[in-house]
Amino acid sequence: MITREFQSLHSDVNRRDFLKVLGGGLLVCLSPVPTIAQESGRAANRHELPTEISAWIHIDADGQVRVFTGKVEVGQNIRTSLAQAVAEELRVPFESITMVMGDTDLVPWDMGTFGSRTTPTMSPQLRKMAIAARELLVETAARRWNVDASKLIAGSGKVTSPDGKKFITYANLTRGEDLVKSVSGNPTLTPATEWKVAGTAMPKVSGRDFVTGKHEFPSDLARPGMLFGSVLRPESYNAKLDSMDTSAAEKMPGVRVVRDGDFTGVVADSAFVAHQALGAIKAKWSSPTQPSNQGLFDYLKANLEGKSDAEHQSGSVIDSFASADVKLESRYTIEYIAHTPLEPRAAVAEWNDGKLTVWTGTQRPFGVQEELMQAFKLSPKQVRVIQPDMGSGYGGKHTGEAAIEAARLARATGKPVKVVWTREEEFTWAYFRPAGLVEVKSAAHRDGILVSWEFHNYNSGPAAIGTPYEVPNQLIQFHPSKSPLRQGSYRGLAATFNHFARECQMDEMAHALKMDPLAFRLKNISDQRLKAVVQAAAEKFGWGASKSSLERGFGIACGTDKGGYVATCAEVAIDPSTQKVKVLRAVQAWECGAIINPDGLRNQVQGALVQGLGGALFERILFSNGRIENPRLSKYRVPRFSDTPQIDVVLIDRKDLPSAGAGETGIVGIAPAIGNAIFAASGTRLRHMPLTPEDNVIKS
Amino acid sequence: MSKFLLHINGKSYPIEAQDDESLLSVLRNHLSLTGTKYGCGEGQCGACTVLMDGAATRSCQIPAAAAADAKIMTIEGLEQSGRLTPVQEAFLQEGAFQCGYCTSGMIMAASALLHDNHAPTDEQIVTAMNGNVCRCGTYPRILAAIRRASSASAGGAR
Ligand code: FES
Ligand code: FES
């Protein structure tokens, strides 16, 4: 168990001492370069680790390689893909790598796992360290054999002599040694064309534990003597407690009620009793009047907050719009949606001699550590957050609510306490993907060349707000508003809505120009990478092979964000009598540079599309007066087997380009592709997400 | 509060639980059989699926006491002396998961389906599995895994 072995890593030791703690061997650390420093690597004033490093690799006397990173595994498969990258550069078998992730006592500080940053930043960092480790091993072998290091070959966990007759394993080289190296330069990475381990479809690490139920998710963990906690919630947002009677709960055997300022919770020796006790608390609240879905978009536009600088500005949108041949003005809207990770927030907290340890499902273990430090006035050394590979997050688990609640209850009772949120709590007390509206004015010459693009996004967010099309006159602006609901990160952020608005508007322009939507796009794209995915998707889909009819529609959309390029085609069937829509088929072409794991990538791209179907067609949060009205899966519809179309994913492997992340941007294409397909068939332009919230029926 | 025996994965466990405590709660919190997951508590996601006398059952929807006479099988009971079932094997082969949180429930539901129908059509698979949610959206792979397992069973690999 790594956790026990390295318990004392958190002392202020220098690198050599640090290696002693690890039991000798070889240690390579990476000193962050300034651009990386913002993301990984501890800030100078509070570094805990031997030096300012952003990650490290250790090879022990058995040749086992351990890679330490603050990134976390949430289903996006980086435990596998990062290990592939390290194995590649270190020239060791994939199996000899263990990734140690998301444990604040063991790994270097990291901002968190989001924004598709792991592959473009952490992966090259780890590869650089692996190269340094390999070089150190080769130099050590050269010294032992008294030969020129440049003649030796590293491969399969060994260093071999030029004639291939003599070899020494990494384990032999590191045994009894204290080899330390710090990397800060820019060694040449192995080009993707020469990859042997990276670039292959490696199956998920420890996949077997998932099919046997052995893997312990955060909500599965138990500690000796652990109690179960549950937390009292207000009847609505911003409600004030008027009175509370906890006597019935307190009389229940084994139950303890914990009050701490505004916080009220219960603990019991079973989760069932804890929930019963919570139900026995009688609380009276008074709630202020609050906004609801009714009038939401006007509210957002009327309640601006903060500055709205232009994200892009060129030429004059006013003049170019006024003088253009074909022009359109539209308004698009999007509702709040919930991440609904299948595993809700969960945490187990334990206090030992003033040190707090919390196991919890989060995308930001160091962020949660910070929250706990603040909540309990602790130093970083007094808080350890451990993130077991969790039941996903999709941008929804950046925060540490359950961790703080469990820690509060554990402190009050002196026992480890587990808190697992109910589905209803997860729907109500987490945060949402922002609702918003977009107003867009676009114009083109009669020949189909875009001349003017004015785009205003209210509240939803600035991600991918720019247009990838060539337009000489642009004004693109994000306007933050006061959100009536707590909102935050979500897979792809606002890229989904900005793509929806832009790609539907492009479709409208194409129809207004009497042009084929594909041809219109291609005419205005000069980015060759975008062009390549659009063409690949269209070709696979058979774009243009059949014409849309009243019962069958074809739509296309494309875009780029975070280094990923995507094009999506959709085919929908519409029942003429009921106006019910069914998505029959989708093709998604994807390119994000050199592919590290084609199987994992395919899985991500497909999964993002399926998740995107929900927000496209029917997911929405209903609320009024500070209450969520559909906080359950029976009332909040998520995509199921029967909603899933036939999906073809076309991957373009650009071995000449650095790898970008792929967890998010695959979600952006499906909503506009469906919206455009619905228009092609029915002539009804749906400008609201979700498109068909009521039973998949088209309503204009 | 009642006392009863639960027969799970071939073993009998004496249980003391309140009459309305769910089988899911007992499995997870009394018996540490945490392979069975909580996802919604209202029979909508299938993460808690177990087999009761061979039938796929939402363990969050049935009181533990009501399961006292049944033979219960959970995800932990599938593997036999290190051998996975064809369904488990197929999920591995197809990489039919991302975070893996839905996987136990999916495998239990698929096992029940294939037990009753060795060669289901895609339509039958979708109907049988539609109560199981994969939020990561791996449905096409799960479908492929069930197809693969059905041909594996048909080929006598069971
Ligand atoms: S937890 Fe039982 S169906 Fe969702
Ligand atoms: S793999 Fe994450 S919910 Fe299915």
Three-state secondary structure string covering A313-340: EECCHHHHHHHCCEEEEEEEEECCEECC
* Chain A nearest C-alpha distance from B31 (Å): 11
Residue A66 is classified by DSSP as E
Say if residue A380 is preceded by a cis peptide, omega within 30 of 0: no
Instruction: For ligand 2, say whether the CB of B99 is within 6 Å of any of its atoms.
Output: yes
Please state the atom number of ligand 2 nearest to the C-alpha of residue A343. Answer: 3
Domains A225-287+340-429 and A303-336+432-689 fall in the same CATH topology: yes
Residue B104 is classified by DSSP as H
| Closest-CA residue to B46 (of B111, B133, B107) | B133
* Chain A nearest C-alpha distance from B69 (Å): 22
| CB atoms A213 and B34 under 8 Å | yes
Please state, in angstroms and as integers, the Cα–Cα distance from residue A65 to each residue in A58, A98, A116, A139, A432, following that order: 6, 6, 25, 18, 40
Please state, in angstroms and as integers, the Cα–Cα distance from residue A180 to each residue in A58, A100, A186, B114, following that order: 9, 19, 18, 55
User: Looking at chain A from residue 655 to 694, which residues have their Cβ under 8 Å from any Cβ of chain B?
Assistant: none
Please state the atom number of ligand 1 nearest to the C-alpha of residue B44. Answer: 3
B24 touches chain A (CB under 8 A): no
Q: How far apart are CA A657 and CA A330, in angstroms?
A: 37
* Contact residues, chain A, for B78 at CB < 8 Å: 212
Architecture of domain A225-287+340-429: 2-Layer Sandwich (3.30)
pLDDT of residue A16: 60
Domain locations along chain B: 2-77, 86-152
Instruction: For ligand 2, say whether the CB of A604 is within 6 Å of any of its atoms.
Output: no
Query: Which uninterrupted H or E stretch holds A365?
Result: helix A365-376
Domain locations along chain A: 5-212, 225-287+340-429, 303-336+432-689
Give, to the nearest 10 degrees, the angle between helix B139-154 and helix B103-116.
40
C-beta of residue A104 within 8 angstroms of C-beta of residue A365:
yes
Query: Within 13 Å and on the Cβ side, how many CA atoms surround B94?
Result: 24
Three-state DSSP state, A152? coil
pLDDT of residue A17: 64
Residue A189 is classified by DSSP as P
User: Looking at chain B from residue 60 to 99, which residues have their Cβ under 8 Å from any Cβ of chain A?
Assistant: 74-76, 78-79, 84, 88, 91-92, 95, 97-99
Ligand 2 midpoint to CA B98 (Å): 5
Amino acid at B72: I
C-beta of residue A463 within 8 angstroms of C-beta of residue A355:
no
The CATH T-level fold of domain B86-152 is DNA polymerase; domain 1 (1.10.150)
Please name the residue that has the structure tokens 């059949």.
A546
Q: Which of A392, A600, A634 sits opposite B136 (nearest CB)?
A: A392
For residue A362, which phi and psi values (nearest 5 degrees)?
Answer: -150, 155
Other Cβ atoms less than 10 A from the Cβ of A575: the count is 13
Residue A571, beta-bridge partner list: A554, A585
| CB atoms B47 and A342 under 8 Å | yes
A76 touches chain B (CB under 8 A): yes
Mutate which of B27, B37, B45 for ligand 1? The one with the most ligand atoms within 8 Å of its CB, which is B45
Our measurement of the distance from residue A473's CA atom to the centroid of its chain's CA atoms, rounded to an integer in Å, reads: 33
Divide the 700 residues of chain A into consecutive groups of 10 and give the mean pLDDT of each group: 36 56 77 41 37 70 90 93 95 95 89 87 88 92 94 95 93 87 83 95 94 98 97 97 97 96 95 97 96 96 90 95 97 98 98 97 96 97 96 95 98 98 98 98 98 98 97 97 96 97 98 98 98 98 96 98 97 96 98 96 97 98 97 98 98 97 95 98 97 93
Please state the atom number of ligand 2 nearest to the C-alpha of residue B100. Answer: 1
| CB atoms B101 and A204 under 8 Å | no
pLDDT of residue A185: 75
C-alpha angle A383-A388-A393 in degrees, rounded to nearest 5: 100
Q: Which of A215, A389, A603 sits opposite B95 (nearest CB)?
A: A603
| CB atoms A75 and B98 under 8 Å | yes
Other Cβ atoms less than 10 A from the Cβ of A684: the count is 14
DSSP secondary structure letters along A547-587: ---SSEEEEEEEEEETTEEEEEEEEEEE-TTT-BEEEEEEE
Q: How far apart are CA A71 and CA A366, in angstroms?
A: 10
Burial A105-139 (b: 16+ CB within 10 A, else e): bbbbbbbbbbbbbbbbbbbbbbbbbbbbbbbbbbb
Ligand 1 interacting residues, C-beta cut-off 6 A: B 38-41, 43-48, 58, 60
Residue nearest to atom 3 of ligand 1 (CA): B43
| CB atoms B88 and A272 under 8 Å | no
pLDDT of residue A49: 38
| CB atoms B39 and A217 under 8 Å | no
| CB atoms B104 and A609 under 8 Å | no
Our measurement of the distance from residue A39's CA atom to the centroid of its chain's CA atoms, rounded to an integer in Å, reads: 15
A215 touches chain B (CB under 8 A): yes
C-beta of residue A664 within 8 angstroms of C-beta of residue A495:
yes
Nearest residue in chain B measured CA to CA from A637 = B44
Other Cβ atoms less than 10 A from the Cβ of A293: the count is 17
Q: How far apart are CA B40 and CA B47, in angstroms?
A: 8
Q: How far apart are CA A580 and CA A694, in angstroms?
A: 10
CATH label, A5-212, candidates 3.40.50.1100, 3.20.20.150, 3.30.365.10, 3.40.50.360: 3.30.365.10
How many residues in chain A? 700
C-alpha angle A631-A636-A641 in degrees, rounded to nearest 5: 140
DSSP secondary structure letters along A95-145: GGEEEEESBTTTS--B--S-TT-IIIIIHHHHHHHHHHHHHHHHHHHHHHH
DSSP secondary structure letters along A634-684: TTS----GGG--EEEEEEE--TTS-----SSGGGSSHHHHHHHHHHHHH--
Quick one: tokens of A627? 């209450």
Ligand 1 midpoint to CA A587 (Å): 32
Domains B2-77 and B86-152 fall in the same CATH topology: no
Ligand 2 midpoint to CA B139 (Å): 9
Q: How far apart are CA A278 and CA A149, in angstroms?
A: 68
**Mean pLDDT in chain B?**
95
A228 touches chain B (CB under 8 A): yes
Q: How far apart are CA A435 and CA A523, in angstroms?
A: 32
CATH label, B2-77, candidates 3.60.70.12, 1.10.3300.10, 3.10.20.30, 3.65.10.10: 3.10.20.30
pLDDT of residue A53: 55
Ligand 2 midpoint to CA A341 (Å): 8
Residue A554, beta-bridge partner list: A571
pLDDT digits (tens, 9 = 90+) for B73-85: 999 999 999 999 9
C-beta of residue A88 within 8 angstroms of C-beta of residue A122:
no
* Contact residues, chain B, for A219 at CB < 8 Å: 34, 37-38
C-beta of residue B115 within 8 angstroms of C-beta of residue B76:
no
The CATH T-level fold of domain A303-336+432-689 is Aldehyde Oxidoreductase; domain 4 (3.30.365)
C-beta of residue A272 within 8 angstroms of C-beta of residue A229:
no
Ligand 2 midpoint to CA A391 (Å): 7
